Amino acid sequence: MSVSYGYVSYSDQLQGKGMNKSDRLLVILSFGAIYFIWGSTYLFNKIVVSEVPPFLLGSVRFFSAGIIIMLIATFLRNKPKVKTHEIRNAGIAGILFLTLGNGIAVWSLQYVDSGLTALLIAAQPLVLLLMMWILEGKKILMKSMIGIALGFIGIYLLVFQNEVEAHPDQWKGFIGIFFCLLTWGYASLFVAKADLPKNFFVSSGYQMLIGGSLMMVLSGLLGEDFSSLLGLSVKGKLSMAYLIVFGSIAAFTAFNFLLKRISPEKVATNTYINPVVALILGALVLGEVITWLAVLAAALLLSGVFFINSARTKG
C-alpha cells in the first residue's frame, strides 16, 4: 500500500476520508491556524520568557487554556462521556506535545533567536519521516532521501553559522530543539493512532490540563520564580493572553483535529510557513538579524521539506 507524501490536493484526500464540505472548510481554517498563528507564537513566547521562566510560562498558558476549554464545552453541553483510557492517552499526548515538546522549545528560546528556532523546528517533517521509517517500516524513496540530505545540510549551516560563535550558550538551545523534534514527531504518530476523546475540543482540553499540570510540577522542582508572574509588563500580559487564546485554544485544537483527519506528514507542512512568519516578526519586533547564510540555510531546509512532501513512500 502506498502513502502519499506529495501535494495531492487536500480536497482529493478529504474525499478519500469521506468528509463533507463543512469538514473541508474546518480543515482549511485549521491549516490557517497552525500555519500563521503558530508561526507568531515564537515571537510571543520569546517576549514572555524574557520575564517569566519557561515551564512556569507553559504551565500558566496551558492549564488556563485547558480550564477555559472545559468550561466552554460544559456551557455548550458538548462535553461527552470520556473513557479512562481516552483520558490516559490524552495525558500522554499532552506530556509529549506540551510538557516536553513545547516546554523545552520555550526553554530553548532563552538561548536561540525566535526566527532561528522556528527554522530548526522546520526540520520536523524530516525527523517524522525518519521516525516512520524506523518505527513503522515505511520505505524511503530517492526523492525523500534527497530531501533529507538537503534538510540536514540546511540544519548544519544554521547551527554552525558564524553568528553562533558570538552566543556560546546557543548549543544548549540547539540540543533542546532537537529533543523537541523527537518528542513532537513521536507524539504526532501516537495521536494519529491513539484512542482519544472523540470531541477534538475536549481532547485538547485534557491534553492541556494534564500537560500544564506537569509543567507546574517541573517548574516547582526546578525552583522557578513564581513571583515573576506578578511583575509581568503590559507587553508580557498581552503576549500571555495571545498564547492562551490563540496559540493554545485555537491552534492546538486545530492541530489535534487535523491529526485525525489528515496524515501526520501533511500536518507537519506547517513548518513551511511557521519559520517565515517567525523570521519576519522576530526581525520587525525584536530586531533579530537575518544573515545571508541563514537565508541560504532556510532555502535548503525548506527545499528538503518540499522534496519529502512531494515524494511517495511505500509501506
pLDDT in tens, 259-310: 778 877 677 677 778 888 888 898 899 888 777 877 888 888 788 877 776 6
Count of domains forming the chain: 1
| Residue 227 resides in a domain | yes
Q: Residue 161: which pLDDT band, with cuts at 50, 70 and 90? A: low
| Residue 6 resides in a domain | no
Global pTM value? 0.79
| Residue 11 resides in a domain | no
| Residue 13 resides in a domain | no
| Residue 160 resides in a domain | yes
pLDDT in tens, 73-124: 888 776 668 899 999 999 999 999 999 999 999 999 998 888 888 888 878 8
pLDDT in tens, 212-229: 999 999 999 999 999 999
Q: Is the dihedral of CA 30, 255, 69, 227 positive or negative?
A: negative
| Residue 15 resides in a domain | no
3-state SS of the chain is CEEEECCCCHHHHHHHHCCCHHHHHHHHHHHHHHHHHHHHHHHHHHHHHCCCCHHHHHHHHHHHHHHHHHHHHHHCCCCCCCCHHHHHHHHHHHHHHHHHHHHHHHHHCCCCCHHHHHHHHCCHHHHHHHHHHHHHCCCCCHHHHHHHHHHHHHHHHHHHCHHHHHCCCHHHHHHHHHHHHHHHHHHHHHHHHCCCCCCHHHHHHHHHHHHHHHHHHHHHHCCCCHHHHHHCCHHHHHHHHHHHHHHHHHHHHHHHHHHHHCCHHHHCCHHHHHHHHHHHHHHHHHCCCCCHHHHHHHHHHHHHHHHHHCEEEEC
Considering only residues 315 and 235, tell me which one the structure prediction assigns the higher pLDDT. 235
| Residue 275 resides in a domain | yes
| Residue 261 resides in a domain | yes
Q: What is the pLDDT of residue 11?
A: 41
Write out the residue range of the structural domain in which residue 295 sits: 22-314
Q: What is the pLDDT of residue 9?
A: 38
Q: Residue 150: which pLDDT band, with cuts at 50, 70 and 90? A: confident
